[in-house]
Structure 1
Amino acid sequence: MQAEFAIPPGLHAYDVPYYFPSIVAPLFQNTSFDNAFAQSFTSFGISLNRNVKIDPTTITPPWKKWEMRHTEMLFNSTATGLPLVEPMETSDALLERCQFWLSVANLTAQ
């Protein structure tokens, strides 16, 4: 299950409040976004299929397996403050970086 959390500023660990909103309030306050983000993981945990929705009204569109054209789900917001949840292809540059780290994994104990 590949996803990109990109709510601005989109820095590492800025997704943590969306997993634990009772501890730290998320920067982007939007119930539709919160439900789409959280239920994607919950659905996968329950059924091993992120497309089997707990709540069929969530805004997450159908989510292809990553092996199919390197599809991941983008979790973001628009410039006007609306939730943006849509599939996207992983960039070639990111795939190249991943391939590099895979090639040195046995040297880095990762």
Structure 2
Amino acid sequence: MTQVMFSETVKQTQRSDTSDKLECLRKVDVSVLEAANSRIRLSAFFATFVFVPVVDGSFIVERPTVTLERKRVNGLSDPHSCAIAQLTIFVDSASPPPSLTEYVTELFPLLDQTSVQSIVQMYTDDKVLTTTLSQAVAVMGESIFICPTYLLMSAFGDRAYKGEFAIPPGWHAEDLEYHFPTGFQPTYNNSALIKSFLSVVRALNTTDKFVLDLKPAWSVWQLWFTCASMTS
């Protein structure tokens, strides 16, 4: 995939005829690279990243999922929260997938059809997910948010805390206005509502109540189920 993206970048910047393509790309004007990046990104599968870090054996020696499964982390604490309606914007509701099989196949192009059908069966059997769109939202959300979150918290163990942002409508990133109220205008204007991240800064504990605080206590996270291995 890395080679594919390199070749597409060369093509988009019209440098295919050069002998040393990498050296030539390094001399391309930044505006040309920016335009190429936008075209490539917009042509990608909805809500997925095209240009990502790759394992080079030197700067990045292994996949982060492998590092987390070995519980190798530098952080002292992991306060983790997700918005209740966070996942909806990551699937194109204006053009929903014609079938869950097609969606999963495109989202995970390296999976064989046996694995694809196993995933499809799991989500179509869920009585809550009654439409292909809702099933696709669940697949996308659990693969990029839910399971990675549990993998990260598992690496931190009893230094991890899990919360859910549920102030309506609870969309992705809507909690930022409460974590950083001086930069945003909170919908519910009460600065004492969420102080969890400041509590971590002060005491490495989300429930350290150093001011009037209306939030409930965050229990130390414990593993209560296991997501499928993300490194296979």
Taking structure 2 as the reference length, the TM-score comes to 0.27
1:48 matched to 2:204? yes
- Unmatched segments (≥5 aa) in structure 2: 1-160
Q: Deviations over 1:19-58 (max 9, x none)?
A: 22223211122x2xx3131x22211221112232112x32
Is the contact made by 2:163 and 2:218 (CA closer than 8 Å) also made in structure 1?
no
What residue number does 1:36 align with? 193
What residue number does 1:85 align with? none
C-alpha root-mean-square deviation of aligned residues, in Å? 2.4
1:65 matched to 2:220? yes
What residue number does 2:172 align with? 12
2:164 aligned counterpart, secondary structure: strand
2:192 aligned counterpart, secondary structure: helix
Q: How does 1:83-102 map to 2 (within 5 A)?
A: 99-100=227-228
Is the contact made by 2:177 and 2:185 (CA closer than 8 Å) also made in structure 1?
yes
Q: What is the identity, as a one-letter code, of the residue corresponding to 2:209?
A: K
1:18 aligned counterpart, secondary structure: helix
- Unmatched segments (≥5 aa) in structure 1: 71-94
Could you tell me how far apart the structure 1 residues matched to 2:178 and 2:213 are?
A: 16
Sequence identity, in percent?
33
Shift of residue 2, structure 1, vs aligned partner: 0.8
Could you tell me how far apart the structure 2 residues matched to 1:61 and 1:18 are?
A: 15
- How many residue pairs get aligned? The number is 72
Q: Deviations over 1:56-104 (max 9, x none)?
A: x32234332111x86xxxxxxxxxxxxxxxxxxxxxxxx67xx14xx22
Could you tell me how far apart the structure 2 residues matched to 1:27 and 1:12 are?
A: 14
1:64 aligned counterpart, secondary structure: coil
What residue number does 2:49 align with? none
1:4 aligned counterpart, secondary structure: strand
1:46 aligned counterpart, secondary structure: helix
The structure with the largest strand share of the pair is 1
Q: Which has the larger radius of gyration?
A: 2
